[in-house]
Amino acid sequence: MSTSSALLPPSRKPPLTFRRLLVAYVLIALVPYVWSTTQQLEVRGVYQSILTALNISMLAALLAQYPLSGRINAVTRYTGVDNGMLLHRKAGEIIALFFLLHPFLIIIPRFFIAPQHALGDIWSSLTTGESSTGVFAWVIMIVWVLMSMYRDKLRISYESWRISHGIGLVAVAILGTHHAISVGRHGRYEPWFDVMWIVLCSIAVGIVAYTYFIRPIQQKKQPFKVVEVEKAGSNDWALTIEKDGDFPFHFDAGQFLWINTSGNPYNRVEHPFSIASSPSSLPRVSFIIRELGDYTSNLEALKPGQRVFVDGPHGVFTLNGRSSSGIALIAGGAGIGPILGILRQLRDLGETKPIRLIYGNRQFDQMVFQEEIHSIEKALSDFDQTLVLEQPEDGVDAQAGFISQNLLEGAFSTDQKESWVFYVCGPPVMVEAVSDHLRTIGVPEKQILFEQLAFA
């Protein structure tokens, strides 16, 4: 880091890359199975052994989903919020598919061993009281998967979906665990195995309970209030809130908060927004918010003094712990929020490294805080902004089109591609495309940091 790095908060390690996170997740999910193999368990045949290994590992993977998606800083510090949510979704799809197939995988061999009794055996095993929790978990899983797949078509609001997702997760964890320890092979033989599932299930349910009941108590003790909501661009708002009390609150530029403006900390209608201010702005915190749907199109209704509850700060899209010879900031649309926060912090620090901002939007009137960005250009020794417009306008100094591979190729020298750190923020499609372009032009994976303005 440059001379100014001493002013940065104590450095933390960047989170795991998606690949490493995936490997860690798979290894964690395998632990119960590996443990089970050290016991004297009766499992007959190759098919049964594979199925047993899969059943145990998939249940462990299901229970590991809770810390992965539970917004716990001690976890997200290592996983990164984007990668954690991406893994949560991808692994969730595989786990759901496996558990949907689970009864069929158990049933199929019976048709080979004793076809004449197979249907009767299946019916009696499904209708015994012992299996009922498994059957309930299975049905809930189907409803839950269908709801996730067809949320938009069914016109289920994001909030209703999130609440039902939370309730579904708790139900599936409890019922699935009960099923595993009542009819699951291993539970019958080794009591310790039951205890392990109960502990893992309790942690999972505890995380959900913490999110819904305990965190709101903390939020209530640390309220914020609205300071102002101003138009920042043709469809963007600048919202500023302020700590309403004397309590410790710190953040790193680039992090985000979930904000709840309902007035009730237990209300689960909360939205994530990246902080657009630098830590020096505390006790005030500001955001740049693009009008997109019900909530973001009604920000004008927020009144100064109105109570705001926040959850966070979250995220690792920060300057912390990263050393590089230069900084590239690439923003699409509302992605300028955390990028501006980082830029403001670099200005406050008097950063001397080269900094380049590439900022894309459809039209020029969507570009926010241009005056301030120009003043930062003057304040910093080596900072330069490139605007990119889908719809170029006469008299506006901007590149036409998207933040394309060609544009990025031309903007950075080979040396810069290899030694700079690249921060990318915007809607998922833009972040995915730009990250791909950066990899293609030779930027090492570990030097690309991204924040998507939606969970994958």
Q: According to the binding rule CB under 6 A, does residue 189 interact with ligand FAD? A: no
Q: List the one residue from 144, 193, 197, 273 that touches ligand FAD (CB under 6 A).
A: 273
CB atoms within 10 A of CB 321: 15
Nearer to ligand FAD, 336 or 408 (CB): 336
Site for ligand FAD in 292-331 (CB under 6 A): 292-296
List the beta bridge partners of residue 311.
258
Phi, psi dihedrals of residue 308, rounded to the nearest 5°: -130, 130
For residue 313, cis peptide bond before it (omega within 30 degrees of 0): yes
Q: What pairs with residue 260 in β-bridges?
A: 309
212 counts as binding ligand FAD under rule CB under 6 A: no
Interaction between residue 83 and ligand FAD (CB under 6 A): no
Cα separation, 181 vs 198, whole angstroms: 9
Looking at beta carbons only, is 190 or 291 nearer to ligand FAD? 291
Using rule CB under 6 A, residue 224 touches ligand FAD: no
| Site map 156..185 versus ligand FAD, x via CB under 6 A | --x---------------------------
Q: What is the DSSP letter of 190?
A: -
Examine residue 356 and tell whether it contacts ligand FAD (CB under 6 A).
no
337 is an interface residue for ligand FAD by CB under 6 A: yes
In contact, 156 and 143? CB cutoff 8 Å: no
d(CA 433, CA 290): 20
The interface region with ligand FAD, picked from 94-102, 185-193, 283-291, 339-347 by CB under 6 A, is 283-291
E strands, 247-283, are: 256-260, 271-274
Q: Which stretch binds ligand FAD (CB under 6 A): 132-140, 197-205, 282-290, 386-394?
A: 282-290
Rounded to whole angstroms, the Cα distance separating 252 from 153 reads 38
Ranked by CB distance to ligand FAD, the top (closest) residue is 293
Residues 77, 83, 89: CA angle, nearest 5 degrees = 125
| Of residues 158 and 266, the one with the C-beta less far from ligand FAD | 158
Chain residues in the site for ligand FAD (CB under 6 A) = 81, 158, 256, 270-274, 287-290, 292-296, 334, 337, 453-455
